[in-house]
Structure 1
């Protein structure tokens, strides 16, 4: 057996940048400068902290983003709408995440964490449009990926509604130490839903 066969997902590349088209654009977030200021500022917002619980100091966010950039499990991404920053996204490989083993994941399954930065831009349907664009953009970026997943908190009703409106389907609940999550799956095709 090769070393890659011992570690789940070892031969799978890191998560890709979603391929988005106008009015959306995505780029890898940097761990310094304006990107760090933006993410750190957004994470202090009550509407984000209520579910992310990461209203950390700026230095801790520097370490978080830099750590993601140095690894191959999570890709930190900033998404703009019409050239204006809208959301911080973390794209992750399920096989390298705590979600692994909670459902019959495939090696190329991708997951997303999403935070819309400004509370004034929530509740307008932007979340569902962004989630649909992200799912389609990730499936386009990785032809071997057949499922994009998410695990929002079961108490976050607006988020659950947005995921369903974006084509994600409920696939059970997952219990983590810090939350009970709804497993949401956006399959490439019907046969790609787990049985």
Structure 2
């Protein structure tokens, strides 16, 4: 397993600037590519048909460049380019911008979606923060259009009508330092029930969730989640191995809404990590930034994420801080005293927080 660099300077990445050689699995538009990078050569190979394209990825001064080098093919496909871009920015996580030297007359869709930007000198570039907002790279399916706004009232609170909840995979991202694909999928109240029940009865989980009980209790719990349009349960998996449960919600109609100035498309979330062998730094640095990434990709109108861990959950509060969440205030729920954490869309993408950063805190901030 790749070792992390934990250095003492505020704002530095929690992993090395680049890893050579790198292997990546990229799935733009659900086309699976294997990508390798060695000696400045990037190879992108489609798993199904074996087609391979070759690129040069190199730094010149402070500029990162991606150059088309495969003269056996006239043009790269859009999805091949997306896979090559993902590998480039994963390899060089400090970079804010990637310059492209590629044939691009056939890539109008990538200009229209903001993946490619052409300046006054006809230089084509990728702005990394825009690229990481391209849902098609990490979402198995994306809505044809944004769900229209229509206001309804639930429990005395006015909020937008929410679109129907998805079924199955909603996000997948290859985690290079684990060599595994992180997947979020909707929980199945039948096939996942035994696993969910076991996790809820784990003493480490029960300390904070306080939802111990038998199968019938947890069957009813999941049925209530399924029936509630403002909340959704997700299973977190590495490849196909479940490791934790995530409960995401629309904040406007949630019990948290009276405690801050809530916006229509704010999202919140809860988490439990049920498998002890998947607790710890290499795993939390994968799933914590990725759940934030997923929630921002799920609706472009979501500008803020909120979370309210119990005030004595020091480990979670430290981990959230390293992943960009600001501690807004302490407050009292009826059932707990909590810390309100908040992450803005602007901060997440501008600071490239899909890779956690070490920050200065009065306490030790080692991820655990």
Q: TM-score range by the shorter chain?
A: 0.7 to 0.9
Distance change in 2, residues 1:9/1:59 (3 Å): same
Matched residue, 1:193: none
CA contact (8 A) 2:230 2:254 kept: yes
2:173 corresponds in structure 1 to 21
Q: Which residue of the other structure, out of 190, 193, 207, is the alignment partner of 1:32? A: 190
Q: Deviations over 1:148-186 (max 9, x none)?
A: 111111101111111111221111112112211111111
Structure 1 unaligned runs (5+)?
191-195
Q: 2:151·2:159 contact (CA, 8 Å) conserved in 1?
A: no
The match for 2:320 is 163
Q: Deviations over 1:117-168 (max 9, x none)?
A: 1233223342243111000111011111111111111101111111111221
Query: What is the deviation of 1:187?
Result: 0.8
Structure 1 runs (4+) deviating above 6 angstroms are: 14-17
- State the shift of 1:38 in Å: 0.7
Q: Structure 1 pair 13/101, CA: closer, same or farther in 2 (3 Å)?
A: farther
Which structure has the highest helix share of the two?
1
Q: Is the 8 A contact 1:147 1:188 kept in 2?
A: yes
User: What stretches of structure 2 of length at least 5 have no aligned partner?
Assistant: 1-149, 175-180, 348-368
Deviations 1:16-55 (Å, cap 9, x if unpaired)? 775332221111101113x011111001011100000001
Match of 1:105 in 2: 262
Q: Pick 1 or 2: higher relative contact order, CA cutoff 8 A, min separation 6.
A: 1
Identify the residue that residue 56 of structure 1 maps to in structure 2: 213
C-alpha distance in 2 between matches for 1:96 and 1:15: 16
Q: Secondary structure at the match of 1:54?
A: coil
What is aligned with 2:31? none
Aligned alpha-carbon RMSD (Å): 2.1
2:283 maps to 126
5 Å-filtered alignment, 1:74-93, equals 74-93=231-250
| Residue deviations 1:41-89 (CA, integer Å, cap 9, x gap) | 0010111000000012111111111111122021011010233111100
Q: CA deviation at 1:3?
A: 7.2
Q: 1:131 to 1:75 in 2, by over 3 A?
A: same
- Give the counterpart of 1:172 among 329, 334, 354: 329
**Larger Rg over CA atoms:** 2
Show the counterpart of 1:9: 159
Pairs aligned (count): 188
Work out whether residues 154 and 182 of structure 1, in 8 Å CA contact, stay in contact via their aligned partners in 2. Answer: yes
Q: 1:97 deviation in Å? A: 1.3
Mapped to 1, the partners of 2:185 and 2:320 lie a distance apart of 22
Specify the SS of the correspondent of 1:167: coil
TM-score normalised over the length of structure 1: 0.88
The answer to whether structure 1 residue 94 and structure 2 residue 251 are counterparts is yes
Residue 15 of structure 1: how far off its partner (Å): 6.7
1:18 and 1:182 mapped to 2: Cα distance?
28
